Chain A
Amino acid sequence: MSEHVLLRHRDIPNIDRLDVYLAHGGFEAFKKVVTQQQPADVINEVKNSGLRGRGGAGFPTGLKWSFLPTNLWPHYVVCNADESEPGTFKDREILESNPFQFLEGLMIASYGVGANLSYVYLRGEFWQVAARLDEKISELEQAGLLGENLFGTPYSLRLRTHLGAGAYICGEETALLESLEGKLGQPRLRPPFPAVVGLYGKPTLINNVETLTNLPPIFQKGAAWYKSLGTEKSPGVKIFSLSGCVNKPGNYELPLGTTFRELIFTHGGGLADGRSVKAIMPAGASSSIIHVNADSLLDTPMDYESVAAIGSQLGSASVIVLDDTVNMAWLVSKTVNFFKHESCGKCTPCREGTFWMNRLAGRIAAGKASAEDVTLLDSVAKQIAGKCLCALGEFSVMAVTTGIKQFRQDFDGKVNETRSEETVPQEAMG
């Protein structure tokens, strides 16, 4: 792509400096909405752009904004900068290199839903990023772009950062709110949804970093321009975090609907000599595995609908490429170990299920299990599915069930005749 919409630091050096960002039209969009538009107009513009949430679920952003009731106040905006899905590293690049565009997006969202205080929740490992963001926020306060009575209007806005402390579950929006309130990061029962009962019991909008970073260009160039990018149902551009068995892993900003082939071969430099694509996980460790058993699958467009049509998910577009040397039983032992580590423990099927899946998958990968253990692993996974309070439990079984179904030989090739001692107590599964 010639000009980036989100990764603009790749085109404009030093755009992380306020003077440079301002010189390139920075905060014109924010000033325009605050001084010339009603919040309802702002929400309509976002609806018209067709923008969908980039945190994983792809929910229409403008529609989400319209859910905050206008008879309950105050409203909060909380930006999800927890970025912890294995394979995802796009928000970090935005926050580090194009921070003002992100902050302007957060400010437009805050005005759009009438919030006067907004938070950025960053994963604890982004300690340096948060410190730099705090500096940028102070600069904006000094420049009169944040604070009381902005541009002589009655509108006031403050931004604050908040650091998590190492827990993937805090990326789930209700666990994030609990964590921000100073409690254990465990998901809440829904309904009520955060749009009605969110932070401190008040209506709250939660959006991902990348989602918000789209807003300044949408308001500068118009919803129609944005909608002309990407596909009809998945408009706009997306940052694809490409990792795994490719020559040039990294972030690539491309229109939604770009094919896997273009991402992996044109941009990602292809695979090592003599290797071929065995499988793809398009949504990080949470993905259903795509078995690339026909070359034409690489021509699948990467948009929400097309990836779902081949039995997987686009999620946050963290595309992990697996070549023909990767054993899927080993891969599953890795993903399951992640989810076992990250289960918050609130509900039994997820807590116990990930524990047992981790034991079984670990033994299988180590060559210490029998074929029946593979069947047992599959059945434990199927008992977890559909019984969990939040999506983490569902995510934990995706690679297991799709891995065993499509690559049974990888698992069977690892087993030996001695059956492991493992028996999973039925009551453990709730």
Chain B
Amino acid sequence: MNELLSKYPQEIQQILAKYPPAFKRSAVMPLLYLAQREPGYVPRQALNDIAEILDISTTDVASIVGFYTLYYDRPAGRYHIQVCNDLPCALRGADQFLRELCERLGIEEGGTTPDGLFTVEAVKCLAACHRAPMFQVQGDGEIVYHENQTVELAMAWIEEVRAKAAAGQEAQP
């Protein structure tokens, strides 16, 4: 029983249609995004499902998860707050922004808030160097940019997400 296939039959057909039938292995990256969308990481079972759909080995699929930074093989905070502190952003205060944001959340870089909602990570250039400090939020199958940030702005957004999560609504990043 292929869980992924029975859950997203149409989307999987659409993904496969993007590539020549003889080279369906190309679909591994979009299928991994699909598998990660709800749980926030790629569960073990999904590796098998994708391997089966594409006629490749589970090890091959797992190696793709390991190679690329946007795939996760274990659960973390629901939202990954990925702060760019690469050179151009660092020249405009990104290191200090990251430090202060972590302090306000009471976590270390790489850590997750006790409510399980946010994991803060330092990442490399996101092609937004002119709008530093900035971060992207990865979660709910989406990636959203937050640019020209201050710690106050970031905290305001975080509190908003927390309030929505507490109200049990679908939180929008």
Binding site for B on A (CB under 8 A): 83-89, 91-92, 117, 123-128, 160, 162-168, 179-185, 200, 241-245, 249-251, 285, 318, 320, 322, 326, 331, 334-335, 338, 341-342
CB contacts (< 8 Å) of B67 on chain A: these are 167, 184-185
- Chain B residue at minimal CB-CB distance from A126: B127
Whether B127 pairs with A166 at a CB distance below 8 angstroms is no
B72 to nearest A CB, angstroms? 11
- Does B114 touch A at the CB level, under 8 Å? no
CA distance A86 to B123 in the complex (A): 11
Whether A182 pairs with B25 at a CB distance below 8 angstroms is yes
CB contacts (< 8 Å) of B124 on chain A: these are 84, 86, 168, 338, 341-342
- Does B103 touch A at the CB level, under 8 Å? no
CB contacts (< 8 Å) of A200 on chain B: these are 20, 22-23
Q: Which residue of B18, B136, B142, B144 has the most chain A CB atoms within 10 A of its CB atom?
A: B18
- Chain A residue at minimal CB-CB distance from B33: A163
Whether A128 pairs with B143 at a CB distance below 8 angstroms is yes
**A127 interface neighbour in B18, B64, B90, B142, Cβ under 8 Å:** B142
CA distance A124 to B68 in the complex (A): 10
- Chain A residue at minimal CB-CB distance from B31: A182
- Does B107 touch A at the CB level, under 8 Å? no
- Does B39 touch A at the CB level, under 8 Å? no
A85 to nearest B CB, angstroms? 7
CB contacts (< 8 Å) of A164 on chain B: these are 29, 68
**A334 interface neighbour in B19, B54, B86, Cβ under 8 Å:** B86
Whether B143 pairs with A244 at a CB distance below 8 angstroms is no
- Does B91 touch A at the CB level, under 8 Å? yes
Q: Which residue of B26, B69, B92, B129 has the most chain A CB atoms within 10 A of its CB atom?
A: B129
B18 to nearest A CB, angstroms? 5
CB contacts (< 8 Å) of B23 on chain A: these are 181-182, 200
**A181 interface neighbour in B26, B87, B88, B130, Cβ under 8 Å:** B26
**B87 interface neighbour in A126, A241, A335, Cβ under 8 Å:** A335
Q: Which residue of B19, B20, B67, B126 has the most chain A CB atoms within 10 A of its CB atom?
A: B67
- Contact flag A241-B29 (CB < 8 Å), given A165-B68, A165-B70: no
Would you mind naming 16 contact pairs between A and B with Cβ atoms under 8 Å apart?
Answer: A86-B124, A87-B125, A92-B128, A125-B70, A125-B126, A125-B143, A162-B26, A165-B71, A166-B70, A181-B25, A182-B54, A183-B64, A185-B67, A244-B88, A251-B130, A338-B86
CB contacts (< 8 Å) of A285 on chain B: these are 86-87, 125
Q: Which 7 A-B pairs have the closest CB atoms?
A: A165-B68, A166-B69, A182-B25, A249-B130, A86-B125, A243-B88, A166-B70
Whether A184 pairs with B63 at a CB distance below 8 angstroms is yes
CA distance A241 to B89 in the complex (A): 13
**Interface majority SS (helix, strand, loop, mixed), chain A:** mixed
CA distance A165 to B32 in the complex (A): 10
CB contacts (< 8 Å) of A91 on chain B: these are 127
- Contact flag A320-B28 (CB < 8 Å), given A164-B68, A182-B54, A285-B86: no
Whether B136 pairs with A125 at a CB distance below 8 angstroms is yes
CB contacts (< 8 Å) of B75 on chain A: these are none
A237 to nearest B CB, angstroms? 19
**B29 interface neighbour in A179, A335, A338, Cβ under 8 Å:** A179
B90 to nearest A CB, angstroms? 6
CB contacts (< 8 Å) of B126 on chain A: these are 125
CA distance A334 to B86 in the complex (A): 7
Whether A83 pairs with B127 at a CB distance below 8 angstroms is yes
Whether B127 pairs with A320 at a CB distance below 8 angstroms is no
CB contacts (< 8 Å) of B54 on chain A: these are 182
> B119-145 vs A: 1/0 string, CB under 8 Å?
000001111111000001000001111
CB contacts (< 8 Å) of B127 on chain A: these are 83-84, 88-89, 91-92, 123, 125-126
B16 to nearest A CB, angstroms? 12
Whether A338 pairs with B143 at a CB distance below 8 angstroms is no
Besides A84-B125, A342-B124, 17 more A-B contacts (Cβ < 8 Å) are A86-B124, A87-B125, A88-B129, A91-B127, A92-B128, A125-B136, A125-B143, A127-B143, A160-B18, A182-B27, A182-B29, A182-B64, A183-B64, A184-B63, A244-B92, A251-B130, A334-B86
